Chains A and B, each alone.
Chain A
Amino acid sequence: MCVGLSAKVIGIDNGMAIIDASGAKREISAELIKDLEPGDYVMVHAGIAIAKITDNDEDETDEIMESL
């Protein structure tokens, strides 16, 4: 239902963030995430950062599998 893109924040200005997804850059709204800083990773959907995230899915799935 929702294609998400995980991307790195490389700039913040006045509620907007510039994100970088392996070289493709776009300005998106950062208004729905508090305290975003350059260097953070976000999940982007329809031009909006919807969550601040950690970039590495593997560490996380490792942990979940451990806990089983």
Chain B
Amino acid sequence: MKTACIENKKMSAKEIIESYKGKPLRIMEVCGTHTHEIFRLGIRNILPDTIKLISGPGCPVCVTPVGFIDESLMLALEHRAVICTFGDLLRVPGSKMSLADSRQKGASIKMVYSPVDALSYAKEHPDKEIVFLSVGFETTTPASCLAVKKAKADGIKNFSLLVANKTMPEAYKILKNSADAFLYPGHVDAIAGTSVCESLVKEGVSGVVTGFTANELLTALAVAIKLSEKGKPFFKNCYPRVVKSEGNIPAQELVNETMESCDSEWRGLGKIKKSGLKLRADYKDFDARTRFNLPKIPGKSNPACRCGDILQGKCKPTECGLFGKICNPQHPVGACMVSNEGACSAYYQYGGNL
């Protein structure tokens, strides 16, 4: 009985998508995990020609600038710090090499599941300097903040963060003409709440908060299509089982207590005002840049790499001259090829013709 009705509903969301014949729609999935799931489920292959899905900049690895990798390498190789990082960052190319490459040069790079684990590692190894590479959007930032807050409370002296955390609101504004509707990143909104996305409606920006299961993705797409047909800017939370309109208030407070807003460099998009975070002055002892007195490192990316245009939906990965030839997942040139969810990597892995 139950299964029958699930089938029905699944069909109907899928049918709405498959049978859409209205005016052409550009829908941007902002979040890289959405990109990944959309490819994994083959959702692109059921879309009619009238719907174009664009992969946006929501992969922290893809938007992290070359200079950040160079800074981490300097910490690992010159300051002999143990670098703790999410696995995602390991293969991102810096100016000269990636963190994975630096292991051959004696760098000590440790993968962790959580920043809090990096802190535990620091406690267990008081003789070593531990630096956690703090990247990510609203969803991931609270974990870093929690680690740094605990480190301060426990008087830990050998733990610091190299911060490149980013926030979405200003990026939405920059991207607003790149798509007719956005699939908003469900887990960002689980922390941040929906007010920013809701208020974008006033600026003519439409979108739906989207979850990550097959059901949730199809439903959100179907809703975006249906609401687009009405012709007015819209917002709908299609992921209320996880996302509340006010978000996660204790998490917001924690971030606010430990970090403050700053301008930030996005690989491909350039500098965006008020789109990044840095540690507050109270926590400067835990800021790896201060602690190790790091110089400003500009970082050089390959000029032929078109990650920037791709992130803004201005071109497809296949339009980059390096795609598939010089640049592939084994030898990524740009960040979009590194992360599994990067647009170039996804195109490469799932067939450039998709």
Contact = CB atoms under 8 A, between A and B. Distances in A.
Interface of A: 1-4, 26, 28-29, 31-34, 43, 45-48, 50-51, 53-54, 56-58, 60-62, 64-65, 68
Contacts of B242: 4, 43, 51, 53
Interface of B: 5-6, 9, 12-13, 30-33, 58-60, 86, 113-117, 136-137, 139-140, 142-143, 146, 185-188, 190-191, 211-213, 215-216, 218-219, 222-223, 226, 236, 238-244, 248, 250-251, 254
Judged by DSSP, the binding face of B is helix
A47 to B, nearest CB: 2
Contact of A1 (B12, B31, B143): B31
Contacts, number: 125
A33 B250 contact: yes
B211 to A, nearest CB: 6
Contacts of B191: 50-51
Of listed B9, B139, B243, residue having the most chain A CB within 10 A: B139
Contacts of A58: 6, 9, 215
27 contacts: A1-B59, A1-B188, A2-B136, A2-B137, A4-B187, A4-B242, A29-B143, A29-B146, A31-B146, A31-B250, A32-B142, A33-B248, A33-B250, A43-B190, A46-B114, A46-B143, A48-B116, A51-B191, A54-B241, A57-B211, A57-B215, A57-B216, A58-B6, A58-B9, A60-B240, A61-B218, A64-B238
